């Protein structure tokens, strides 16, 4: 039975993104929302809306029982989780499928494997993805750890197997500190994730973050849609993303893309996925795979013309991918700025009422946002309020257009990081594409 009504288990811009793709396909949407989001745009645009709980996400957007009940009451035949919240929760995916509701996401077992860092790394290695040199799985014995670290060479990074969001990591410069840092990493991981398992990797000094978008039909066919460069980060949060990467050649894209898509074919992967690598001196090193749609997916859409959410819905409906690898063309350049309601200097969140809003427009300018004048940004959720995605025939043209679009964009009543983006787009290293994952924090520290 084809999908006719999708419950969107998310909020904000991504809920709108999914609603738009669904409506273009003639599919109805059901929004769910917390009491803090009754007036949100995703609730206003959806065909139906169901309140699923009070403001805290644990009671609403993460409330599995209430979301499943909403899907049943509203007669939904599919659920799209967006990103964050329940999107990488294998148990939730299983519950959805057990209710005979189509899960618009990867197979639960793949979500589970890739969500466990040690298992993910092992699987990635078996699938032929290049790994960061390090321990073969978890290490608990300090003597064994010392042996491994001596082999790969210092500095090394100690990582929590169930870590996430950049937490539970320690860089170790020399052997005398290894044992105590392992203990620290283990106890921090135990406190944060309830699991003290750690593993060791070579610490890369100045890498870029480059990720490949992949897509599988769940039946053994899979493609890649090129890479995104997300090296501009603060505290492991991406700030600006671009595609293609300024340092990847066409040949390298096709070579590495093929390595990634072959891995997905071998896995029988279904739906959208992102394989994240650190890149240094021309080498790729797998760090993790995200089994969901990414925030930064629109830059890929801009340079390929493929609607990734539409593909997700098609595949969940048992249809084949609508594009073949040989038909995909990568043209031009796209950059996304994440616009957050926060102080551009201190980064303190700035929720509150938006008194005036004017999104940027014009040729090749896309704004994905749930903002409107009079909307109150609630303090309970992520501070990202809009994504500005700009396309140009080449990187230089894209940057010129992006500067113009940032000039036009007005959000009044709350503070935003628009001034930060404007300043970034005047920096020589950004203009030349010469930046690593350390660049932004070093630049911010020098600016203060």
Instruction: Give the one residue of 288, 296, 301, 336 binding ligand ADP; rule: CB under 6 A.
Output: 288
Q: Per CB under 6 A, does 275 bind ligand ADP?
A: no
> Is residue 201 close enough to count as binding ligand ADP by CB under 6 A?
yes
**Least spacing, CB of residue 168 vs ligand ADP, in Å:** 7
Can you tell me which of 158, 437, 439, 440 binds ligand ADP, judged by CB under 6 A? 437
The SS3 of residue 69 is helix
Residue nearest ligand ADP, Cβ-based:
204
Asked whether the beta carbons of 277 and 212 are under 8 A apart, the reply is yes
- C-alpha closest to that of 213 among 87, 47, 54, 328: 328
Q: Given candidates 163, 186, 226, 298, which one binds ligand ADP under the rule CB under 6 A? A: 163
* Residues within window 140-159 making contact with ligand ADP, judged by CB under 6 A: 157
- Subset of 224-243 contacting ligand ADP (CB under 6 A): 236
SS3 417: coil
* Only segment of 143-151, 198-206, 306-314, 328-336 that touches ligand ADP (CB under 6 A): 198-206
* Min separation Cβ 276 and ligand ADP, Å: 6
Order of strands across the sheet with 384-392? 283-290, 270-280, 208-217, 222-234, 237-243, 333-340, 384-392, 365-369
Q: How far is the CB of 234 from ligand ADP (least distance, A)?
A: 11
CB neighbours of residue 115 within 10 Å: 18
Q: What is the dihedral of CA 5, 9, 14, 18, to 10 degrees?
A: -10
Which CB sits closer to ligand ADP, 204 or 315?
Answer: 204
Q: Please, which residue, 44 or 167, has the CB nearer to ligand ADP?
A: 167
Report in angstroms how near the CB of residue 162 gets to ligand ADP at its nearest: 9
Residue closer to ligand ADP by CB (options 166, 419) is: 166
| Contacting residue, 61, 85, 103, 203, with ligand ADP by CB under 6 A | 203
3-state SS assignment for residue 229: strand
Interacting positions 91-150 with ligand ADP (CB under 6 A): 132
Q: Which of residues 5-64 bind ligand ADP (CB under 6 A)?
A: none
Question: Contact at 8 Å (CB) between 81 and 92?
Answer: yes
Q: Is 378 in the site for ligand ADP (CB under 6 A)?
A: no
> By rule CB under 6 A, what count of residues binds ligand ADP?
18
d(CA 292, CA 330): 22
Q: Is 287 in the site for ligand ADP (CB under 6 A)?
A: yes
Which residue number, 55 or 164, has a Cβ lying nearer to ligand ADP? 164
DSSP helix/strand/coil, 145: helix
* Known catalytic residue at 292: yes
Select from 57-65, 195-203, 237-245, 310-318 the region that touches ligand ADP (CB under 6 A). 195-203
Residues contacting residue 177 through CB under 8 Å, at least 6 positions apart: none
Would you say 127 and 267 are in contact if contact means Cβ atoms under 8 Å apart? yes
Instruction: Give the CA diameter of the chain.
Output: 63
Taking the least distance from each CB to ligand ADP, the nearer of 201 and 227 is: 201
Residue of 53, 59, 64, 73 whose CA lies nearest to 95: 64
User: From the candidates 11, 253, 292, 401, which is the catalytic residue?
Assistant: 292
Q: How many whole angstroms separate alpha carbon 338 and alpha carbon 234?
A: 12
Pick the stretch among 22-30, 104-112, 200-208, 371-379 that binds ligand ADP (CB under 6 A).
200-208
296 scored as a contact of ligand ADP (CB under 6 A): no
Contact 405, 336 (CB under 8 A): no
Question: CA angle 329-293-82, nearest 5°?
Answer: 140
Question: Residues interacting with ligand ADP, by CB under 6 A?
Answer: 132, 157, 163-167, 169, 201-204, 209, 236, 278, 287-288, 437
- The catalytic site residues sit at 292
């Amino acid at each position: 039975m084809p999908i006719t009504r999708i419950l969107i288990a998310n909020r904000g811009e991504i809920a709108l993104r999914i609603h738009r793709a669904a409506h273009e396909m003639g599919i109805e949407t059901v929004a769910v929302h917390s009491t803090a989001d009754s007036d949100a745009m995703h609730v206003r645009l959806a065909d139906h809306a169901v309140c699923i709980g009070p403001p805290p996400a644990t009671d609403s957007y993460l409330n599995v029982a209430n979301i499943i009940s909403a899907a049943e009451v509203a007669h939904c035949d599919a659920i799209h989780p967006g990103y964050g919240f329940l999107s990488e929760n294998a148990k939730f995916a299983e519950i959805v499928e057990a209710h005979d509701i189509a899960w618009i996401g990867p197979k639960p077992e793949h979500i589970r494997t890739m969500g466990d860092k040690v298992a993910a790394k092992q699987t990635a290695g078996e699938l032929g993805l290049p790994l960061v040199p390090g321990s073969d799985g978890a290490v608990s014995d300090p003597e064994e750890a010392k042996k491994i670290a001596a082999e790969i060479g210092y500095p090394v990074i100690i990582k929590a197997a169930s870590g996430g969001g950049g937490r539970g990591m320690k860089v170790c410069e020399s052997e005398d500190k290894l044992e105590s840092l392992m203990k620290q990493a283990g106890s921090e991981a135990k406190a944060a994730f309830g699991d003290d398992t750690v593993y060791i990797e070579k610490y890369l000094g100045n890498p870029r973050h480059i990720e490949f978008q992949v897509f599988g039909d769940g039946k053994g066919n899979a493609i890649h849609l090129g890479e995104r460069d997300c090296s501009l980060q603060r505290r492991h949060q991406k700030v600006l993303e671009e595609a293609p990467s300024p340092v990847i050649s066409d040949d390298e894209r096709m070579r590495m893309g093929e390595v990634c898509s072959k891995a997905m074919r071998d896995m029988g992967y279904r739906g959208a996925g992102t394989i994240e690598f650190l890149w240094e001196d021309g080498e790729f090193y797998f760090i993790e795979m995200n089994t969901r749609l990414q925030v930064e997916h629109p830059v890929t859409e801009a340079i390929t013309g493929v609607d990734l959410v539409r593909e997700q819905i098609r595949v969940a409906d048992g249809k084949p991918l609508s594009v073949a690898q040989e038909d995909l063309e990568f043209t031009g350049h796209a950059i996304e700025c994440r616009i957050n309601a926060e102080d551009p200097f201190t980064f303190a969140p700035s929720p509150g009422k938006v008194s005036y809003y004017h999104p940027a427009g014009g040729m090749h300018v896309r704004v994905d946002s749930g903002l409107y004048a009079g909307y109150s940004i609630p303090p309970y959720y992520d501070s990202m309020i809009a994504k500005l995605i700009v396309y140009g025939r080449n990187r230089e043209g894209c940057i010129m257009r992006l500067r113009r679009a940032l000039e036009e964009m007005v959000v009044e009543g709350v503070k935003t990081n628009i001034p930060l983006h404007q300043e970034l787009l005047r920096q020589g290293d950004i203009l030349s594409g010469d930046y690593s994952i350390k660049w932004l924090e070093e630049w911010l520290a020098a600016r203060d």
